[in-house]
Chains A and B, each alone.
Chain A
Amino acid sequence: MDHISPVLWQFLRKWLEHFSLFPPEASTVAPESDALYFFMVLVSLIGLTLVVLLIVAFSILYSKKRHPKAVQIEGSTLLEATWTIIPLGLFLIMFVWGALLYFRIYTPPANAMNIYVVGKQWMWKAEHPGGQHEINMLHVPVGRPVQITLISQDVFHSFSIPAFRVKREAIPGRYTTVWFQATETGTFHLFCTQYCGTDHSEMIGEVIVMTPDDFRKWLASSTSGNSLAQNGERLFASLSCNACHNARPDARGPSLANVYNSRLALSSGQTVTADDAYIRDAILNPSQHITQGYAPIMPTYQGQISEEGVIALVEYIKNLDSDYRVQQTLNTTDLLPGSEGGKPAAGATAPAPQKEVKP
C-alpha cells in the first residue's frame, strides 16, 4: 500500500464507506419512488442488454468474413408490431405507476400540518404556524404528514429534499404545495434546484427530522412569542384591513370569519373556493375577487407587503373562526396609538394619520 499516496487512500476509503447509489429513504413515499425507479432501471438494463446482444451477436455471426453475401430483407410486420407494442406496453405501465406516485406526492392529506416556505435569492425562509422562523433549515416531526406551501419572493426556485424524493418549484406570484411524511430522524439535505442567479449553489440547507417530543421542545424554544396568525393579526390592523372587513352590518367589506375554504360567490357570477391561493390573490389583486354584493373598492397591497407578510395574513384569516375574533382585533387596534379606527372604542383619542408597516 505504500505506493498509493496516503491522500488518495483516504479519499478512496471515505468514498467506499459512504458509497451509495441512491439517497437515504427517509420518507413514506421514498420507497415507492425507489421501487418505480428500480423497475425502470431493470427494464432499461434488459432493453439495453437486448440491444447490445443483438448488435454484438449479429456483428459476429454476420461479419463479412463469416457471411460474405448479405441477404436483402425487406422487413417484418410481425417484428415491427412486437417491438412497437412491447415497449409501448412497458412505457404505459411506467406511466400509470408514475402517475399514481405523482398524484400521491402532490395531493397532501387532509391532516397534514402546514409550514410555509418562502424562497428568495438566495435563502429559504420557513414559517411555522406557531411563529417560528427558520432560515435554510426546516425542523419537522417524524411520522406526521407535513405540507409545505411554497412561494418565491423573486425568481423561480425549486425546493428539493432528495432523501424524501420530493421537489417542487417555488414560483413568484402563486403558491405551490408538496407534502411528505418523514420516517427517520436525522438531518437531510435541502437544495434549491432551479437556477436562480449568483448564489444558486449556496441556497442549500438542512431538514432536521425530530421525534415528536424533541420537536415540541424545539417549537417552544424557537418561538418569538407570536404565532404566525398573531403576526397576521397585527398586520391586518396596521394595514387597516379592518376598516372594511370589520364584520359590522354596514361594513364595506365581507366578514372574513370562517371564509377559509368556504365557497364564495363572486360579483362576476363565479363561485370559488377560498383557499390559500385565493386569499393571497384577493389581497394582491382584489378587483378580480369581489364577493357578490360588495363594491370593488378594495385597494391592492401589491408592492406594499412581502410574501412573508401575505403568509401571515393568510394564516390569520385561516384561523379566524368567529366574528368575535374580528371584534377583538378591532378592539385591540383601536387601543393602539396611531390607529385609524372606525367607530372608536370609548375613550379613544383622535386617530393619527395612517402609517404603512412592512413586517
Chain B
Amino acid sequence: MSDSTAIANGAAAEAQHEHPPYQRHHFASVEQQADTTNFAMWLFLLTEVMFFGGLFTAYLIMRNWYYPAFVEASHQLNIGWGTANTGVLIISSFTMAMGVWSAEMRRKGLLVLFLSLTFILGLAFLGIKTIEYHEKWEKHHIPGLHYSEQSFLNPASDPEVHKLYPGDQPLAPDMAAKTELYFFLYFAMTGMHALHMIIGITILGYMIYRARAGAYTTGHVTYVENFGLYWHFVDIIWIFLFPLLYLISRH
C-alpha cells in the first residue's frame, strides 16, 4: 500500500526476471502470451468478416435484382485468370502453412524459403489482378471513367467475349445500365481484397527480414502463426469472391 512496500515488492519482482526475451512484461507466461495474441487475431478476423459482409450484402441484393446484367457483365471477366489467381492463392496458403510448420520446427532456412515463396505468390496474384484491371480499363468497363455499355447492348461488337458466350442476348438499355453497378461492386470487392493483400505482402516482407535474423525460430512462433491466420483469411475471402464474381452463370 505505502511507498516503501511497493518498492520492496517491485524490487523482488525485478530479481525474478526469468522469462524468454520475447515475452512481453504484462504477460505472466509465454503460453498466456501465445494464447492471448492468437485469440486477438481470431477476433480481428471476425471484424474483417463483418467489414466484407457489408459489401457482400450489397452485392447479393443487386445481383438478385439485376441478374441478367450481372450474368453478362461477369462474362467480361477472364475465367482463366480468375482460376489462375485462385490457384496462386491456395498454393500461397499452403506455403504459408509450411512456413508456420518450419517456424515450429525451428528451421530457419525453410522458414525463409516458404515465406519468400508466399511473398512471390502474393505478388503474382497482384500482378494478375493488374492485368485484369488493365483489361477493364482498355474496354471502358471502369465505372465513372468513360464507362461503355456497348459490349452489353450489342454483344457482337465484343468478339472475344462473344465467341466464348454466343448465347448472350443484347441487353435492354435499362438493364445494360445496371452492368455499371456490377463493375462498381467488382472493383469495390476485389479492390478491398487487393488492399488486404498489399498489407499482407508488406508485413510478409518485414517478416522475411526478421526471419532471416532468426527472430521466429527460437520457439516464439506466434507472430508467424497469427500472420498465417490473416493470410488464410484473405485467401478465403477470395474463395468467396471468385464464384460470386466470375462464375455467376456456371451451374
Residues of A near any B CB (own CB < 8 A): 284-288, 296-300, 302
- By beta carbon, the residue of chain B nearest A298 is B172
Q: List 5 A-B contacts (CB under 8 A).
A: A287-B174, A288-B66, A288-B175, A297-B172, A299-B172
Name the A residues within 8 Å of B66 (CB-CB): 288
Total CB contacts across the A-B interface at under 8 A: 25
Residues in chain B near residue A284, CB distance under 8 A: 174
Contacting pair A302 B174 (CB below 8 A): yes
Give A297 to B172 CA distance when docked, in angstroms. 7
Grouping DSSP codes into helix (H, G, I), strand (E, B) and loop, the B interface class, with mixed when no group exceeds half, is helix
Tell me the complex Cα distance, A150–B165, Å: 43
CA gap between A298 and B174 in the complex, in Å: 9
B149 CB, min distance to chain A CBs, angstroms: 12
Taking the nearest CB of chain B, how far is it from the CB of A159, in angstroms? 26
Contacts of B68 in A (CB 8 A): 287
From A284, which residue of chain B is reached at the shortest CB distance? B174
Is B100 part of the contact surface with A, judged by Cβ < 8 Å?
no
Closest to B175 in A: A287
B243 at the interface (CB under 8 A from A): no
Q: Which residues of B contact A298 (CB under 8 A)?
A: 172
Chain B interface residue count: which class? under 10
Give the CA-CA distance A272 to B231 in the complex, in Å: 47
| A273 CA to B173 CA, complexed, in Å | 24
* 9 more CB-based (< 8 A) A-B contacts, given A284-B174, A300-B173, A300-B174: A286-B172, A287-B174, A287-B175, A288-B65, A288-B175, A299-B172, A300-B172, A302-B174, A302-B177
Min CB gap A303→B, angstroms: 10
Which A residue's beta carbon lies closest to that of B172? A287
Closest 5 CB pairs of A and B: A300-B174, A287-B172, A287-B175, A285-B174, A296-B172
Mark B147-185 against chain A: 1 for CB-CB distance below 8 A, else 0.
000000000000000000000000111110100000000
Give chain B nearest CB distance to A241 CB in angstroms.
Answer: 15
Inter-chain CA distance A296–B174, complex, in Å, is 11
A296 to B176 CA separation, bound complex (whole angstroms): 13
Contacts of A288 on B, CB cut-off 8 Å? 65-66, 175
Shortest Cβ distance from B66 into A: residue: A288
Q: Contact: B173 with A299, CB < 8 Å?
A: yes
The docked-state distance in angstroms from the alpha carbon of A220 to that of B184 is: 51
Complex: chain B residue closest to A301, CB-CB: B174
The B34-80 residues at the A interface (CB cut-off 8 A) are: 65-66, 68
- Report A-chain residues with C-beta under 8 Å of the C-beta of B175: 285, 287-288
Instruction: Tell me the complex Cα distance, A297–B65, Å.
Output: 19
Minimal Cβ-Cβ distance residue in B for A299: B173
CA distance A297 to B169 in the complex (A): 12
B171 CB contact (under 8 Å) in A285, A287, A302: A287
Q: Return A150 CB to nearest CB of chain B, in Å.
A: 22
Q: Chain A contacts of B65 at CB under 8 A? A: 288
Q: CA of A288 to CA of B66 in the docked complex: distance in angstroms? A: 8
Please, how many angstroms separate the alpha-carbon atoms of A296 and B170 in the complex? Answer: 10
Among B66, B68, B171, B174, chain A packs the most CB atoms within 10 A around the CB of: B174
Q: How far is the CA of A138 from the CA of B172 in the complex (A)?
A: 39
Return A133 CB to nearest CB of chain B, in Å.
29
In whole angstroms, what is the CA distance A65 to B224 when docked? 62
